[in-house]
Amino acid sequence: MPKPPPTHTAFVLKRETRTRFRYLEIGEAEVQGDGRSGSHRIYLDRLPVGGFSGYILLHPRGTRPPDPISEPEGSGEDEH
């Protein structure tokens, strides 16, 4: 039986600085059914070396998640 094509791309949210993040593509997934029941096959072929929280986002294949909102450098710090 042929393997079904992937339905989703796997991304991680990687921390680049204390307040800046970006999504990195790390693999692909096949989600069966409505996503609430059944099984999910996720193949991760790479992970970031540093700044990986363990959070994985599955996004429909052929699209990218919106860029995370990063705070400007120095935001939220007491500068007195």
Tell whether the model's pLDDT for residue 57 goes beyond 60: yes
Q: Does residue 54 come out as left (phi exceeding 0), alpha (psi in the -120 to 50 range) or beta? A: left
CB 51 within 8 A of CB 15: yes
Q: In what order do the strands lie in the sheet with 40-44?
A: 40-44, 21-31, 8-15, 52-60
Of residues 30 and 78, more confidently modeled: 30
Model pTM score: 0.69
Q: Strand runs (DSSP E) across 1-80, as ranges?
A: 8-15, 21-31, 40-44, 52-60
Tokens of 22: 């970006």
Please tell me the predicted confidence (pLDDT) of residue 80.
47
